[in-house]
């Protein structure tokens, strides 16, 4: 296997398996060893790229990663045993005292350990609820969950929490220390008190999916692994009666409806395709049906009682439309109005104006857009704001203004694929302007 291919597989698999391996090791060895577990995982990632580059992909890559990480952790703990307060009654203590030698720590092929799926699921549930411990601040809860459960790096967490990478690194150290002071972080998942943490857990899953669906930076327009990991965690919660709620069903429906449109969002060359030009035949019918089933469940008690209900409703209206012209913009606007009435957000208000413009109320949308920017200046620093202005200008025939607005949207976007999309839209405005200019006068 070529080194580049090995790096790709290691990065992809490690991203997918990071949360479950970390949770399993923390459950087995103790939450107090979190720093050592993270070090072992990082060493394992580097080792995987090296070994897989010349030996090829192992038969069970996920089990290989777990075994290598466990062995490396034992190696690190043996070296630090004087400093580690390790419970002698634990199974891990026996492994620590009688485990492989240092030279064997990363020799994995002959000793691969297959993780029990139920054990992994229980460990991950305990981990995500531990990260959302009520003694921690909301920021610490989100930070720990995004790092330890979602596997975000500091830069990715910083984008989500709107903080600099350096600040996230320092806050993460403090958050882990604060979490380590809680003695009940890994209490049994059957404890009904954990249900009170669900609000934060849902928010973490939502943020994971959102970042995967539309990455704020980088070269990718979609990170399916992150989206499906968020959906998997939500489904995992839904299988446990303690955490099964209508809000969770709404969140699952929301993600399923969006996931159904994955393949239609890109053309054969990997370029972004906007909603108007998406091939609806590429929508995944099974995911739409799955989303609808969860949507019907969440509507049984208190319809539209959370942001997830409202956003799932909007996503459903888009997913079920046979074509762009069939989109029920009136109902979408009503859902956005309810969303804003529940809790105002400039970003939600901006998205509502997209729907208002698409429904044909271009003049009203343009006026409201400028008013929103005056009331909330941060909106004018969003690429979507200028992209919407550009679209309005283009539809009004103000092609030069549209070109300038698309250029501004491209400048503000940190996602390279989105930049290319806005630049292409700008060129269409230029072409339209030239076509008007070249028409013979009457």
Domain chopping of the chain, boundaries: 1-103, 364-442
CA 61 to chain centre: 23
Q: Is the pLDDT of residue 88 over 50?
A: no
Count of C-beta atoms within a 10 Å radius of residue 49 = 17
Top-confidence residue, 208 or 314: 314
> Which pLDDT score is estimated for 442?
55
Q: How far apart are CA 150 and CA 66, in angstroms?
A: 17
Tell me what the pLDDT averaged over the chain comes to: 84
All residues at 6 or more sequence positions from 69 whose CB lies less than 8 Å from its CB, including other chains: 21, 25, 37, 40, 41, 44
Phi, then psi, of 171 in degrees rounded to 5 = -65, -35
Please, are residues 329 and 355 in contact by the beta-carbon 8 Å criterion?
Answer: yes
Shortest CA distance to 40 belongs to which of 110, 98, 87, 99? Answer: 99
Top-ranked range on mean pLDDT: pick from 139-143, 297-301, 364-368: 364-368
Please, are residues 300 and 334 in contact by the beta-carbon 8 Å criterion?
Answer: no
Please, are residues 77 and 33 in contact by the beta-carbon 8 Å criterion?
Answer: yes
Provide the pLDDT confidence category of residue 96 given band limits of 50, 70 and 90. Answer: low
Count of C-beta atoms within a 10 Å radius of residue 291 = 26
Q: Apex CA 351: angle with CA 347 and CA 355, to 5°? A: 165
Select the CATH number that applies to the domain covering 364-442 from these four: 3.40.50, 2.40.50, 1.25.40, 1.10.10: 1.25.40
* Alpha helices, H only, 162-197: 165-180
Q: How far apart are CA 106 and CA 163, in angstroms?
A: 36
Which of 16-30, 93-107, 192-206 has the least mean pLDDT? 93-107
> Which pLDDT score is estimated for 225?
80
C-alpha atoms less than 13 angstroms from C-alpha of 221 in its C-beta half-sphere: 20
> Which pLDDT score is estimated for 8?
63
> Which pLDDT score is estimated for 160?
78
pTM of the entire predicted model: 0.81
Top-confidence residue, 416 or 185: 416
Q: Is the pLDDT of residue 410 over 80?
A: yes
> Which pLDDT score is estimated for 105?
44
């Amino acid at each position: 296997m070529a080194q580049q291919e090995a790096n790709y597989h290691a990065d992809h698999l490690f991203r997918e398996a990071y949360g479950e391996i970390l949770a399993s090791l923390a459950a087995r060895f103790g939450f107090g060893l979190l720093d050592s577990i993270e070090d072992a995982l990082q060493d394992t990632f580097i080792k995987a790229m090296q070994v897989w580059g010349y030996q090829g992909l192992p038969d069970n890559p996920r089990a290989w990663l777990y075994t290598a990480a466990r062995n490396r952790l034992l190696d690190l703990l043996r070296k630090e045993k004087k400093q580690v307060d390790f419970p002698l009654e634990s199974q891990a203590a026996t492994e620590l005292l009688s485990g492989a030698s240092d030279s064997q720590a990363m020799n994995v092929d002959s000793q691969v350990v297959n993780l029990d799926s139920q054990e992994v699921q229980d460990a991950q549930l305990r981990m995500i609820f531990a990260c959302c411990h009520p003694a921690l601040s909301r920021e610490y809860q989100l930070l720990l969950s995004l790092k330890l459960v979602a596997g975000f790096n500091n830069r990715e967490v910083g984008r989500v929490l709107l903080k600099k990478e350096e600040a996230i690194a320092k806050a993460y150290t403090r958050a882990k220390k604060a979490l380590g002071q809680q003695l009940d972080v890994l209490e049994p998942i059957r404890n009904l008190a954990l249900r009170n943490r669900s609000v934060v857990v849902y928010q973490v899953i939502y943020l994971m999916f959102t970042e995967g669906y539309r990455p704020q930076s980088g070269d990718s327009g979609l990170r399916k692994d992150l989206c499906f990991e968020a959906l998997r965690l939500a489904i995992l919660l839904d299988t446990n009666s303690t955490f099964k709620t209508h809000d969770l069903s709404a969140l699952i429906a929301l993600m399923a409806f969006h996931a159904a449109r994955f393949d239609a969002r890109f053309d054969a060359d990997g370029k972004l395709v906007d909603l108007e030009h998406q091939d609806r035949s590429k929508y995944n019918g099974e995911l739409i049906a799955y989303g609808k089933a969860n949507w019907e469940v969440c509507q049984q008690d208190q319809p539209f009682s959370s942001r997830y209900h409202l956003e799932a409703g909007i996503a459903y209206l888009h997913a079920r439309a046979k074509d762009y012209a069939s989109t029920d913009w009136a109902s979408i606007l009503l859902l956005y109005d309810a969303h804003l009435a529940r809790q105002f957000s400039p970003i939600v208000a901006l998205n509502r104006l997209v729907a208002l413009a698409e429904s044909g109320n271009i003049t009203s949308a343009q006026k409201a857009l400028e008013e929103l920017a005056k009331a909330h200046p941060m909106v004018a620093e969003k690429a979507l704001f200028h992209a919407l202005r550009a679209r309005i200008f283009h539809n009004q025939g103000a092609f030069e203004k549209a070109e300038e607005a698309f250029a501004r949207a491209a400048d503000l976007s940190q996602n390279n694929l989105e930049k290319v999309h806005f630049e292409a839209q700008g060129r269409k405005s230029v072409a339209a302007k030239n076509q008007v200019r070249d028409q013979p006068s009457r």
